[in-house]
Amino acid sequence: MKKFFVSLAILAISAVSFAQPISDRAVVPVAVSLNQILRLQILYGGNVEFVFADLNDYKAGISGTRFTTRFSVASSTDWDLRMYASSASFVGNNTGSEINLSWVGYSISNAGTYTFGAGNNLTASAGSEAAVVPIDDDAATAKIACLSAGSCAGDGADNQFEIFWRAGTGEGTMIQSSFISNDQSINPDRYYTNIYFDLLTSGL
């Protein structure tokens, strides 16, 4: 009995000495999904109408803070804003007559925190206002664009703007004469166009 017992002990030790290491593995997948955010919001001023009701309006034109559109852009990437008229001219509701788009102009004020680059209507740091330009039907040119790569992704507080509209004032590169000047003969009517705002990923 003693010999048998000793023999088993030796066999057990031998088995432990030649056993293979034991291991296990678990996998935890980790992924990052970046969904593109590109959102334009008109905060107020979604409808602008100039009513010429007296001769002073005809002579001097109409402008003022009540003709203001405020909008914001929330974007996870750099962006461009195209802003253009839906038609090549204003079209009369009743007569079908047309008047030039350049009778109406606008300036853009940067009400956010970012600075935007040259070559666009807005070339201004935060708090600045661009020069007055007439509206146009150019759908290919960005009116607001990033200064450089990585410069304008942000929320609606970073990217917020005001457009100050005017009609018949002759400012900037608008038509210089007034609606009542000797060389104008415009039929009374309600003339209209739509202004499209297209928000696109940046062309940088």
Residue 117 is predicted with a pLDDT of 61
The CA distance from 104 to 89, in Å, is 11
Q: What is the pLDDT of residue 146?
A: 81
Q: Is the dihedral of CA 114, 119, 124, 128 positive or negative?
A: negative
Question: Around Cβ 125, how many Cβ atoms within 10 Å?
Answer: 11
The answer to whether position 196 is within a domain reads yes
Residue 21 lies in a domain: no
Whose tokens are 């088995």? That residue is 15
Residue type, 133: V
| DSSP H or E run through 144 | strand 142-145
CB of 41 within 8 A of CB of 156? yes
Is 24 among the domain residues?
no
Query: Rg of the Cα trace of the chain?
Result: 34
Q: Is residue 189 part of a domain?
A: yes
Tell me if 6 is assigned to some domain. no
The encoded tokens of residue 72 equal 């914001």
pLDDT score, position 4: 37
Amino acid at 92: G
Answer yes or no: is 1 within a domain. no
pLDDT at 122: 62
Six-digit token string for 187: 């039929």
Q: Is residue 115 part of a domain?
A: yes
Q: Is residue 30 part of a domain?
A: no
Give how many domains the chain has, as a whole number. 1
The parent domain of residue 79 ranges over: 38-201
What is the residue-level pLDDT of the chain in tens, covering all 204 positions? 434 344 334 444 444 555 677 889 999 999 999 999 999 999 999 999 999 999 999 999 999 999 999 999 999 999 999 999 999 999 999 988 999 999 999 999 888 888 776 545 565 667 778 889 999 999 998 888 887 777 889 999 999 999 999 999 999 999 998 888 766 678 899 999 999 999 999 876
Tokens of 124: 């201004």
